[in-house]
Amino acid sequence: MFKVNNLTAKIENKTLLENFDLQINDGEVHVIMGRNGIGKSTLCKLIMRDKNYEVKGGSITYNNKNLLELETYEIAREKIMLISQNPISIEGVTNAEVLRTALREIKNENINIFEFNKKMEEACKALDLDPKFIHKEVNVGASGGERKKIELLHAAVLEPQFLILDEIDSGLDVDALKVVANFINDYHKKTDCSILIITHHPNIIEYIKPNYVHVLENGKIVKSGDYHLAYEIESSGFGANIMVEDDRNE
Ligand code: ADP
Ligand code: MG
């Protein structure tokens, strides 16, 4: 189980999350929506222990381990993976090299190269991604959409149990969005992993059908519902939704 309790975090004296709570049970899919600059990517980076963000209080736990006490590489070893909004490129090292090294570290044994190559080729096929990328430097010369697919290729090989997708749908055309959503659905079915999706658009929600949709505002979740909430936001905007919640609280 993944749990954020009463988290308050700042950057450069600006409070981005304040008494923020979230619980994701094993196998659940949650979506967080919210205005630009509200702190969605901040939450993702905090989970991965980006030290640029200062934690003022609260906790982040995964399977009862305090993630705030771990370094980023230790969090990755807990099988948590973030696909960031803008995946960076890494020159001088290919996807195959990164994945082979990481996999050897996870499994603590030598990798069967035949199975490893097969897995990567199958993932490329499922992602409609040119397999030439397998032996190319990580994300170098890749478009925004291709970068998202390359990161999902990494997920297919490393098999995280908690997958965080920060705007996986940005930079994807309609066909690529369908392919990526199907890939995520298949991965979820196969592994029963937990997934946190950050998005602005209900399009991806239509394919993935999450258990919960949450709205982030003023540093915390102000409204939660099922996937219909995403359509409400699409038609009436964030302001209207937050008003509804305020009315109910009165
Ligand atoms: P979003 O909800 O769009 O993902 P972010 O979490 O990226 O928003 O950013 C929230 C706010 O924090 C924004 O106003 C952004 O400018 C600011 N911010 C994020 N990262 C930094 C940083 N490293 N230094 C200064 N300000 C930052
Ligand atoms: Mg963001």
Q: What is the mean pLDDT of residues 8-37?
A: 95
Residue 60 backbone dihedrals phi, psi, to 5 degrees? -130, 115
CA atoms within 13 A on the CB side of 247: 6
Q: Which atom number of ligand 1 is nearest to the Cα of residue 167?
A: 4
Length of the chain equals 250
**Which tens digits make up the pLDDT trace of 134-167?**
999 999 999 999 999 999 999 999 999 999 999 9
**Which tens digits make up the pLDDT trace of 121-135?**
999 999 999 999 999
How sure is the predictor about 201, in pLDDT bands with cuts at 50, 70 and 90? confident
Candidate of 36, 38, 51, 167 to mutate for ligand 1, largest count of ligand atoms within 8 Å of Cβ? 38
Ligand 1 contacts (CB < 6 A) are 11-12, 16, 34, 36-42, 52
How sure is the predictor about 118, in pLDDT bands with cuts at 50, 70 and 90? very high
Contact 94, 136 (CB under 8 A): yes
Position 249 pLDDT exceeds 50? no
What is the DSSP-derived secondary structure letter of residue 160? -
Query: Among candidates 31, 36, 33, 38, which has minimal Cα distance to 9?
Result: 38
Q: Which domain holds residue 231?
A: 2-249
For residues 25 and 88, what is the distance between their CA atoms, to the nearest angstrom?
30
> How much of the chain is helix, strand and coil, in % rounded to 5?
45, 30, 30
How sure is the predictor about 202, in pLDDT bands with cuts at 50, 70 and 90? confident
Q: What local confidence, expressed as pLDDT, does residue 197 receive?
A: 97
Q: What is the pTM of this model?
A: 0.93
Contact 179, 148 (CB under 8 A): no
Position 214 pLDDT exceeds 50? yes
Q: What is the mean pLDDT of residues 223-246?
A: 77
Distance in Å, CA 122 to ligand 2 centroid: 30
Distant-in-sequence, close-in-space partners of 220: CB < 8 Å, separation ≥ 6? 17, 18, 19, 20, 21
How sure is the predictor about 246, in pLDDT bands with cuts at 50, 70 and 90? very low
Position 50 pLDDT exceeds 70? yes
CATH classification of the domain holding 235: 3.40.50.300
For residues 233 and 33, what is the distance between their CA atoms, to the nearest angstrom?
9
Q: What is the mean pLDDT of residues 7-11?
A: 95
Nearest CA to ligand 1 atom 6: 39
Distance in Å, CA 114 to ligand 1 centroid: 43
Provide the token pair at 30: 């949650």
CA distance between the termini of the chain: 32
Q: Which atom number of ligand 1 is nearest to the Cα of residue 39?
A: 6
Q: How many CB atoms lie within 10 A of CB 43?
A: 26
Distance in Å, CA 88 to ligand 2 centroid: 14
Position 240 pLDDT exceeds 70? no
Distance in Å, CA 39 to ligand 2 centroid: 7
Q: What local confidence, expressed as pLDDT, does residue 220 receive?
A: 96
For residues 152 and 21, what is the distance between their CA atoms, to the nearest angstrom?
27
Total count of domains within the chain: 1
Distant-in-sequence, close-in-space partners of 95: CB < 8 Å, separation ≥ 6? 120, 133, 134, 135, 136, 137, 138, 150, 153, 154
**Which tens digits make up the pLDDT trace of 76-91?**
999 999 999 999 999 9
Nearest CA to ligand 1 atom 14: 37
The ligand with the least distance to the CA atom of 36 is 1
Candidate of 11, 12, 86 to mutate for ligand 1, largest count of ligand atoms within 8 Å of Cβ? 11
Q: What is the mean pLDDT of residues 177-190?
A: 96
Q: What local confidence, expressed as pLDDT, does residue 242 receive?
A: 56
Distant-in-sequence, close-in-space partners of 67: CB < 8 Å, separation ≥ 6? 47, 49, 60, 61, 75, 78, 80
Local structure of 121: helix, strand or coil = helix
Distance in Å, CA 143 to ligand 2 centroid: 18
